[in-house]
Amino acid sequence: MTGKTEFLSSLVIGLSLLAGCSVSRTVNEGKILVTQDSPIFDKRFESVTIKDINLKNFWVQGDSSDEREPVPLDNHTFSRITEQVKRAVVNIYTIRLEERDAKFGIAPNDLLPIRIPLVSAILDIIPFQVPIPFKEEGYSLGSGFLINREGYILTNAHVISNSVNIRVVLSEGKKEYPATIIGIDRMTDTALIKIEPDFTPAVLPFGDSDKLKMGEVVLAMGNPLGFQHSVTSGLISAKERVAPSASDRYVNFLQTDSAINPGSSGGPLVNLHGEVVGINTAIVEHAQLIGFAIPINTVKDVMGMLITGKTERGWFGAHAAPISPAEALELNYSESEGMIIKGVEKDSPAEQSGLKINDVITQLNKMPITNLAILRRKLLALVPGQEIHLTIFRDRETLEITSTLARKKTGDEIKAEPAS
């Protein structure tokens, strides 16, 4: 890249030594070492609430109508889409704080002139060396994409987590821009950062991830292993996948066989109309062509949280699971879809609203709950103090329940449990 700075040069040299998204490994990957008081966080929306935000024009919404014509495939279809999309895809390089262990003390075998097996074995169990955690700066790389002309960029939370310096490089690779963090949502592994562009950016429109079909062709773009602005093609292998990590159990992923490698995290997964349908986020170690992306409709629901930087979830205190045919028959419930209440926590907003075990939730805020994935996604956007409206089925009657979410105690806001 012409005019590459010392920052990027050092980063690329470091990356050649490791096969991962981060140049150095932290002791505790999930630990927050850089708080929102840091200068890397943009404070422009700190006094704004989600209710104050109008998201109507914050991103460009693609055409999600069912009447849209299919995209014809020829030997240049992918290259045309790539040329259209790549101008809005960026590479992200960061310097971040990392916590590592240093061994302090004398190694047991250093006490012996030669290694005596029995004595050495005894010394090995004595804690002569004590691990002491310390902080140092490390490097990481990832990807992202521009979503509006003001310079806002979507990426993964883990790409910029604990960053003290962020640099964004556009597809031409001729110039880098410093970036600040608008908001991070670690629960959905999404983040919003901002550059101050001195040009009119190309942006990517959002598609409708709910309308994706299994077997649909998609393209993944990003910065895999430092190879800038790469594209791979594949299919939607599955939808509504439970996260491979237990810590990500709230998000239902898109599964794709489009290659997603370390460094691709945060890049867009696009359909053949050039619309973003997901954010590339995870790979399964030792697997071939199994990657995961956060559905873009999940990102739409949490965008208000990302803008305000306030990601605390509201607490309702109910546990729900998809209703089974046997349960529906027992309750005289004639529909095949709905979430049955399995438990109500004491002194919770759910209990105070009158919700009971075996109530069947059919709508949340007037939106039909057709499956577990939709309920999980809607719960991610609920904040303390927010009023929610539930339509429930009980004793052959349809009832309306209104409640105000509280600050979360231990546990989840409305636990949505997998079907047994």
3-state secondary structure of 238: strand
pTM, full prediction: 0.81
- Catalytic residue selected from 189, 248, 257, 359: 189
**Active-site annotation holds for 198:** no
Q: Is the pLDDT of residue 14 over 80?
A: no
The SS3 assignment for 351 reads helix
| Weakest mean pLDDT among 69-73, 200-204, 222-226 | 222-226
For residues 209 and 65, the answer to whether their CB atoms sit within 8 Å is: no
Strands 318-322 and 414-416: parallel
Among residues 264, 265, 348, 403, the one annotated as catalytic is: 265
Question: Model confidence over 328-370: pLDDT tens digits?
Answer: 999 999 988 899 999 999 999 999 999 999 999 999 999 898 8
Instruction: Express each pLDDT in 389-403 by its tens digit.
Output: 999 999 999 999 999
Out of 22, 140, 143, 158, the active site residue is 158
Q: In Å, how far are 93, 210, 218, 235, 337 from 214, measured between CA atoms? A: 33, 11, 11, 8, 21
Could you say which DSSP state residue 158 is in?
A: H
The answer to whether the beta carbons of residues 274 and 204 sit under 8 Å apart is yes
Identify whether the C-beta of residue 332 lies closer than 8 Å to the C-beta of residue 365. no
Phi-psi group of 246: left, alpha or beta (phi > 0 → left; psi -120 to 50 → alpha; rest → beta): alpha
In this model, does residue 148 exceed pLDDT 60? yes
pLDDT, tens digit, 9 for 90 and up, residues 110-146: 555 555 565 555 555 555 555 555 456 677 789 999 9
How high is the pLDDT of residue 23?
A: 35
Residue pointed to by tokens 């010392």: 6
CB 172 within 8 A of CB 88: no
Structure tokens at 397: 């009657």
Poorest-pLDDT segment among 29-43, 205-219, 319-333: 29-43
pLDDT surpasses 50 at 2: no
Residues whose CB falls within 8 Å of the CB of residue 288, separated by 6 or more in sequence, listed in order: none
- Nearest-CA neighbor of 14 among 92, 100, 95? 95
Q: What is the mean pLDDT of residues 204-232?
A: 91
Answer yes or no: are the C-beta atoms of 299 and 154 closer than 8 Å.
Answer: yes
Spatial separation of the C-alpha atoms in residues 257 and 245, rounded to whole Å: 18
Residue 265 bears catalytic tag:
yes
- How would you write 26-75 as a 3-class SS string? CCCCCCCCCCCCCCCECCCCCCCCHHHCCCCCCCCECCCCCCCCCCCCCC
CA distance 151 to 195: 5
Predicted pLDDT at 372: 76
**Averaged pLDDT for residues 220-241:** 88
Paired residues of 100 in beta bridges: 134
Class of domain 314-416: mainly beta
Q: Is 189 a catalytic residue?
A: yes
Report how far residue 117's alpha carbon sits from residue 243's, in angstroms, rounded to the nearest whole number.
Answer: 46
Tell me the domain boundaries of the chain. 314-416
- 9-23: average pLDDT: 36
Instruction: For tokens 């759910």, name the residue.
Output: 350
**R_g of the chain, CA atoms, integer Å:** 24
